[in-house]
Amino acid sequence: MARSPLMLLSCLLLACTPDYEKTDTGASDGADGTDGTDGTDGADGTDGADGTDGADGGDWAAVVVNEVMSSNRTTIADEGGAFPDWIELYNPTGAAVSLSGWTLTDDLAEPDKHPLAASLEVPAGGFLLLWADDDEEQGDLHVGFKLAAEGEAVGLFAPDGTAIDQISFDAIGTDLSAARQPDGSANWVVTDAPTPGESNGGGR
C-alpha cells in the first residue's frame, strides 16, 4: 500500500514531483519523452547521455534508480540469507543496457565509488536488483557500500562520467521503500509493499 512521501527525494536528471526539490539541468524531463541530459529521448530510440547508446543498443539516459530500501530487516534476503539494503534499476526501453563501465555511488562527490561489473545489464523493460552491503566478494550484484538508514544519496553514472540519475533521501523506515510509481516516472512514494526486482505498479 503506497503512502505519502515521508522524505526528500531530489532527481537531478529526471524531474521529481512538485513536492520534491529539483535541480534544474536546463533540459527536459526523462519521464515525459525527453532526456534530462541533452534533450533527446532515452526511451524512443534516440541517443541518450553523450549521444551514444549502451553497449548493446539500449539508451544510457533511460535507465533510472527505480526503488531503494535503506533498512531491510525482513523484506528480501540475498543468496546468502542476509537482509542487506538494496537498490533497483529500471530500463524502460526495448533493448537491454549493458552496465560495463558504469558506476554507482552513495557519495555524489565520489561518482566512481563502485564500478559495476561488465557482466551486468538491465534487461529490456526490466529491472536489476543490487545489494548495498559493502561485500563485493559475494558477487557482481553486491556493491561496495551500504545505505544509511537515516538517509543519504544514490547516484548512477555512465562510462563517460555522465550523471544518469541521482536521488537523495531522508530516513525511509525499516522494511519500507522509496519507489517510483509508476516505474520510471517522476512520482516517488514511500511504500510498505516493496517490489524488489519487480514492477512498482501504478500503471503508465
First to last CA, the chain: 18
Report whether 76 contacts 35 (CB < 8 A).
no
Q: What is the pTM of this model?
A: 0.75
- β-strand 121-122 against 97-98: which pairing, if any? antiparallel
Single-letter code of the amino acid located at 180: R
Q: Can you name the residues that pair with 128 across neighbouring β-strands?
A: 89
pLDDT at 202: 75
Eight-class DSSP state of 116? P
pLDDT at 58: 52
Q: Give the CATH H-level superfamily of domain 1-196.
A: Lamin Tail domain (2.60.40.1260)
CA distance 199 to 189: 14
CA-CA distances (angstroms) from residue 62 to 41, 53, 90, 142, 171?
Answer: 8, 10, 8, 22, 27
DSSP H or E run through 35: none
pLDDT at 203: 56
pLDDT at 59: 67
The closest alpha carbon to 187, from 203, 170, 164, belongs to 203
DSSP H or E run through 91: none
pLDDT at 17: 32
pLDDT at 29: 37
Residues 6+ apart with CB under 8 A from 112: 103, 105, 157, 161
Single-letter code of the amino acid located at 8: L
Written as tens digits, the pLDDT of the chain (204 aa) is 444 343 334 343 333 332 323 223 333 333 333 333 333 333 333 333 333 344 444 567 899 999 999 999 999 999 999 999 999 999 999 999 999 999 999 999 999 999 999 999 999 999 999 999 999 999 999 999 999 999 999 999 999 999 999 999 999 999 999 999 999 999 999 999 999 999 999 754
Single-letter code of the amino acid located at 111: P
For residue 183 the three cell numbers come to 516505474
pLDDT at 61: 80
Tally Cβ neighbours within 10 Å of residue 80. Answer: 12
